[in-house]
């Protein structure tokens, strides 16, 4: 079976981590999760992380997240999350974790907890520290690592676990185990999808987790059509309309007719709107107001302008300075 490489910068993994962050922490980093007060709001600091990694030349990133959480003792801390999904070792991985940690600390003077999930297929590769010593001076970072291969002998337990990241982990394992065997992958993927419905989860959670499974477990066109037929029959029998929607069927037909460009434009528009909304929220939070003139500029901006302004807002002393092209701090 020939598989195309997943998009390493915009995968459903990102949305799953953001939507179900407490469950992500509870599944992969239970000790850390038990120290967090989940009754308090947590905040994803996308623009802060962007400022740190925008000039990094340390290799591809799969999922990077910086999150502000409140601990049970009332202290606010930042958590840097890195999810690496690849089939080979990266010798610079531990150094990258070290570099991002000290960059965040240096820029914002905030201690950072660095955590990593590794979904590669090398069970013996589990980098969890980086450091050096010279002339009696020593600098070291150690960080918790969750390794997907450690769950391989617990596959059946994962399939009965109601944490959504148990399903995500099982999908990753089954993707690796079924590589080159479309028939086996079809059965495994269909089993996971049935589990989504059997959990009794709400529609949005089913859709979110289906997207992760569908993105990981690519099938041939013939088996993909069979899978959608199965899903349609399952939803008809259960009188529910979750992922086998008219929009999805229309999308597939559009793709078959060569309308990929239209889809790409739709995705690009969605990203543009997301960055517009993020900038509006950050200005309102930073300056306690969003003037009409600023809202108009945001609505008419290009993606490159929005990205520049998202960087600028970190250091800009006024709202006007956010929109200055050369406000970037070097």
Q: What is the pLDDT of residues 3-37, one digit of tens each?
A: 444 433 346 777 888 889 999 999 999 999 999 99
Helices in the chain by DSSP H: which ranges?
Answer: 12-19, 21-28, 30-33, 46-53, 93-108, 155-158, 164-177, 182-198, 203-216, 221-238, 246-256, 260-287, 292-300, 303-312, 319-322
**Per-residue pLDDT, 46:** 80
Overall size of the chain counted in residues: 330
CA distance 82 to 14: 10
Q: Which of 74-88, 137-151, 182-196, 203-217 has the lowest mean pLDDT?
A: 74-88
pLDDT of residue 151: 94
pLDDT score recorded for residue 259: 46
For the chain, give every domain's residue range.
8-143, 272-322
Which of 155-169, 203-217, 233-247 shows the lowest per-residue confidence on average (mean pLDDT)?
233-247
d(CA 150, CA 126): 10
Cα→Cα distances 308→90, 289, 302, 305, Å: 30, 20, 10, 5
Higher model confidence: residue 237 or residue 251? 237
The answer for residues whose C-beta is within 8 angstroms of residue 198's C-beta and 6 or more apart is: none
Percent of residues, the chain, with pLDDT higher than 70: 82
38-88 pLDDT, tens per residue?
A: 998 888 888 888 877 765 544 455 678 889 999 988 888 888 777 665 556
What architecture is the 8-143 domain classified under in CATH? 2-Layer Sandwich (3.30)
Of 72-81, 216-225, 238-247, 254-263, minimum mean pLDDT range: 254-263
pLDDT value at residue 80: 77
Mean predicted confidence (pLDDT) in 194-220:
88
Average pLDDT, the chain: 81
d(CA 248, CA 250): 5
**Cα 25 from Cα 146, distance rounded (Å):** 10
**Residues sharing a CB contact under 8 Å with residue 307, sequence separation 6 or more, in sequence order:** 50, 275
Q: What is the pLDDT of residue 169?
A: 94
Q: Per residue in 115-138, pLDDT tens?
A: 988 888 888 899 999 999 999 999
């Amino acid at each position: 079976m020939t598989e195309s490489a997943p998009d390493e910068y915009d995968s459903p993994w990102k949305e799953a981590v953001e939507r179900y962050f407490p469950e992500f922490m509870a599944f992969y980093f239970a000790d850390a999760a038990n120290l967090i007060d989940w009754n308090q709001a947590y905040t994803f600091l996308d623009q802060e992380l962007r400022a740190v990694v925008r000039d990094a030349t340390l290799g591809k990133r799969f999922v990077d997240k910086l999150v502000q959480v409140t601990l049970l003792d009332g202290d606010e801390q930042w958590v840097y999350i890195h999810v690496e999904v690849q089939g080979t070792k990266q010798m610079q991985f531990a150094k990258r974790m070290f570099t991002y940690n000290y960059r965040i600390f240096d820029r914002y003077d905030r201690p950072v907890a660095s955590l990593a999930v590794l979904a590669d297929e090398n069970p013996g590769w589990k980098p969890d520290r980086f450091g050096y010593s010279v002339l009696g001076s020593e600098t070291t970072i150690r960080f918790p690592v969750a390794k997907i291969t450690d769950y391989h002998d617990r596959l059946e337990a994962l399939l009965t676990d109601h944490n959504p990241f148990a399903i995500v982990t099982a999908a990753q394992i089954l993707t690796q185990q079924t590589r080159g065997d479309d028939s086996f992958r079809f059965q495994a993927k269909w089993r996971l999808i049935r589990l989504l419905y059997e959990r009794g989860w709400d529609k949005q959670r089913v859709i979110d987790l289906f997207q992760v499974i569908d993105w990981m477990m690519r099938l041939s066109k013939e088996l993909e059509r069979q899978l959608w037929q199965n899903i349609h029959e399952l939803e008809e029998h259960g009188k529910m309309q979750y992922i086998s929607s008219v929009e999805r069927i229309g999308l597939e037909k559009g793709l078959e007719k060569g309308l990929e460009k239209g889809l790409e434009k739709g995705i690009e528009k969605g990203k543009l709107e997301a960055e517009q909304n993020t900038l509006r929220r950050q200005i309102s939070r930073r300056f306690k107001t969003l003037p009409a003139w600023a809202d108009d500029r945001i609505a008419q901006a290009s993606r490159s302008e929005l990205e520049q302004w998202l960087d600028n807002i970190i250091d800009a002393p006024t709202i006007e300075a956010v929109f200055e092209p050369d406000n970037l701090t070097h």
